[in-house]
C-alpha cells in the first residue's frame, strides 16, 4: 500500500478516542499519528494524522482497534 493517500472516516483526520488505547500511534514508524487532549471531544481527546509525515504504508489502518482509519 505504500505511496497511498490516507484519510479517516471521521472528521478529516481527527478521531475521538483515548490515547492510551490507540495502537496506531505506536505502530506508525513515521510518527504521523498523535494524540491531542481536548475536553470538547466525547472521550477527552482525539487522534490526528500528520499527512506530511504519512507515507501511506497502511500500518495505522491495520492496527486501529476502532477501524476508524481507512486507506484510499
Q: Is the pTM of this model over 0.85?
A: no
With respect to residue 31, please indicate whether it lies within any of the assigned structural domains: yes
- Residue 59's domain comprises 6-71
With respect to residue 26, please indicate whether it lies within any of the assigned structural domains: yes
Residue 29 belongs to domain with CATH number: 3.30.70.3270
- Give tens-digit pLDDT for 1-10: 444 455 443 3
> Contact, 22 vs 13, CB < 8 A?
no
With respect to residue 1, please indicate whether it lies within any of the assigned structural domains: no
With respect to residue 12, please indicate whether it lies within any of the assigned structural domains: yes
Alpha-carbon gap, residue 61 to 41, rounded angstroms: 21
Alpha-carbon gap, residue 67 to 53, rounded angstroms: 20
Question: Three-class SS of residue 7?
Answer: strand
Our count of domains for the chain comes to 1
With respect to residue 32, please indicate whether it lies within any of the assigned structural domains: yes
- Give tens-digit pLDDT for 54-68: 888 889 889 887 778
> In 10 A of CB 33, how many CB atoms?
25
Amino acid at each position: 500500500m505504500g505511496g497511498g493517500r490516507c484519510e479517516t472516516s471521521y472528521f478529516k483526520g481527527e478521531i475521538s478516542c483515548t490515547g492510551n488505547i490507540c495502537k496506531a500511534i505506536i505502530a506508525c514508524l513515521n510518527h504521523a499519528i498523535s494524540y491531542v487532549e481536548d475536553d470538547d471531544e466525547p472521550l477527552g481527546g482525539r487522534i490526528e494524522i500528520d499527512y506530511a509525515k504519512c507515507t501511506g504504508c497502511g500500518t495505522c489502518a491495520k492496527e486501529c482497534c476502532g477501524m476508524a482509519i481507512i486507506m484510499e
